[in-house]
Amino acid sequence: MNYQHKIDRTDIAILVALQENGRLKNVELAEKVSLSASPCLHRVKRLEKMGLISRYQALIDINKIAETILVFTQITIAEHTLEDHRHFEQQIPHVAEVMECYLASGGYDYLVKFCCRSIIHYQQTIQKLLDSDLGISKYHSYVVMKEIVSKNTYPIAELLHPEFPAGTEQ
């Protein structure tokens, strides 16, 4: 659904600020977006109700807790019926090691991001999936050697207003 006609620059500023720091107090957020506290809170509640703010979440630096590896895996399923895709898509979220999963176009069906303790742990995980009823016919694994860029925020202003490149005055 396209919400561009329902949100304005102040709403965009609120979304950008909350992406950067979801723990901002309403008074701080209001100041940051040049509103008083009450209208700011009203806008945040409206953005939540619209589904534009889906949740607030802490980002954990897992490698300060445990050693991990990330593996991106291209997965192809054997049958391409709607039911087979539905089954895969219903079951894959239940695999604890799966961090992300995307239906893709091209030479494979799904791109899946795994977070595991080790290569052995990843191999055990993928073997369980192969042995399950998910219908995986082949997979290709890509072990991440070094993270270069990992963003958890969207370039909202740039996506909604391409006439204003990043770093220019709006």
So what's the pLDDT on residue 157?
Answer: 82
Q: Do the Cβ atoms of 53 and 47 come closer than 8 Å?
A: yes
Q: Which domains, ranges and CATH numbers included, belong to the chain?
A: 4-58 (1.10.10.10), 62-143 (3.30.70.920)
Mean pLDDT in the chain?
91
Continuous segment of H or E residues that includes residue 116: strand 110-116
Percent of the residues in the chain that have a pLDDT greater than 70, as a whole number = 92
**Segment 17-73, tens digit of pLDDT:** 999 999 999 999 999 999 999 999 999 999 999 999 999 999 899 989 999 999 999
**Segment 92-109, tens digit of pLDDT:** 999 999 999 999 999 999
Radius of gyration of the chain (CA): 21
So what's the pLDDT on residue 4?
Answer: 54
Residue 121 CB neighbour total at 10 angstroms: 16
Continuous segment of H or E residues that includes residue 26: helix 26-32
Question: Three-class SS of residue 86?
Answer: helix
Q: How far is CA 67 from CA 25, 58, 75, 116, in A?
A: 34, 19, 25, 9
So what's the pLDDT on residue 170?
Answer: 44
Query: Would you state the structure tokens that stand for residue 39, as one six-digit string?
Result: 């209208």
Over residues 143-160, mean pLDDT: 91
Phi and psi at 99, nearest 5°, equal: -95, -35
So what's the pLDDT on residue 2?
Answer: 57
Percent of the residues in the chain that have a pLDDT greater than 90, as a whole number = 82
By the 10 Å C-beta count (0-12 exposed, 13-18 middle, 19+ buried), 98 is classed as middle
So what's the pLDDT on residue 160?
Answer: 83
